[in-house]
Amino acid sequence: MSHAKTSFVCLPCRASYKQPYVGGSERRCPRCAGVLIHVGTAFAAPRRRDVAAWRVLSVLLHAGVRFPRSCCGGPGYRPRTLGEVKARMVYARRTGEPFAQALVRPGLP
């Protein structure tokens, strides 16, 4: 029986790879030999030429936000534009809420 595949991302190359998940092993990008980031099973990669979407993804990953599959089938809300990310950054600074938690909040009060 084969293992389920999960997504790994190389931010400098703007590339995504589906590979079996083996805990603890470090994955390398086949293009640049950099370390791949494990993003989860519910990840859908943006197009390589969509630079703005990759910037948003970079902010999410550096904040610790990942894309695990939940019981309902998806990872939940994730911002898609830089405007949404900036609005959540302002909200997090104003309220003192952790940045990663503010990024996955579906709506701002």
For residue 71, the model assigns a pLDDT of 67
CA-CA distance, 72 to 77, in Å (whole number)? 12
For residue 1, the model assigns a pLDDT of 47
**109 lies in some domain:** no
C-alpha dihedral sign at 64, 70, 74, 77 = negative
Which residues, 6+ apart, have CB-to-CB distance to 78 below 8 Å?
60, 65, 67, 103, 104
**43 lies in some domain:** yes
**71 lies in some domain:** yes
Number of structural domains (the chain) is 1
Q: Residue 37 sits in which domain range?
A: 5-103
Tens of pLDDT, residue by residue over 28-81, are 999 999 999 999 988 999 999 999 999 999 999 999 999 887 666 667 888 999
Share of the chain above pLDDT 70, in %: 93
Lowest-confidence segment of 14-28, 30-44, 90-104 by average pLDDT: 14-28
**108 lies in some domain:** no
For residue 109, the model assigns a pLDDT of 76
CA-CA distance, 57 to 66, in Å (whole number)? 10
Lowest-confidence segment of 15-19, 20-24, 71-75 by average pLDDT: 71-75
Q: In this model, does residue 2 exceed pLDDT 70?
A: no
Structure tokens belonging to residue 95: 């309220």
Report field, pTM of the whole predicted structure over 0.75: yes
For residue 107, the model assigns a pLDDT of 84
Mean pLDDT computed over 82-107: 93
Residue type, 76: G
| Alpha carbon 37 to chain centroid, angstroms | 9
